[in-house]
Amino acid sequence: MSYLNNAVYLCFAVAIIALPFAGIPGVSPVSDYVAEHIEAYVKHYGETLIELPEETWKSSVCIWTGHHWDAIVDLWTSREGRSDLVPQVFVTEIEGGFNFDIHMVYVP
C-alpha cells in the first residue's frame, strides 16, 4: 500500500501543477487540455493542496471495472484537511508495478 500511496500522491501532485508527465515511470501522459483543466479547477477551488496523509485511504474508493481500478481519492488542503476535491485515476497493473491514467480533478 505504501508504494501505491506514494505513487498516487506523486501523480496527483504533478497533475495539479499541470506539468508534463514525461519521465515519470508508470504515469501516462496527460494532454495539455486535461492539465489546463486540472490546474484551473484547483485554482478555482481556492485552497492549497497538501501531501496526502495516511487517513486519506479510509475515505477513498477504488472500484474494479474488470479491466482497471477506478480510483477516487480525497485530496487534502492546508485549511480544511480532507477537501471535496477528488481526482479520477484509472490504475492498471503492469509488469513491475502500476500504470496511472489521470482523467480529471473535480468536486463530485
Question: Taking the domains of the chain in order of start, what are their residue ranges?
Answer: 2-106
Q: Give the residue carrying C-alpha cell 496523509.
A: 53
Give the model's pLDDT for residue 8.
56
Residue 18 CB partners (closer than 8 Å, separation 6+)? 35, 36, 38, 39
Give CA separation, 30 vs 20, 22, 55, 66, 84, in Å.
7, 9, 27, 23, 22
Instruction: Note the pLDDT tens digit of each residue in 39-84.
Output: 888 889 998 888 888 888 888 888 889 999 888 888 888 999 999 9
Give the model's pLDDT for residue 26.
74
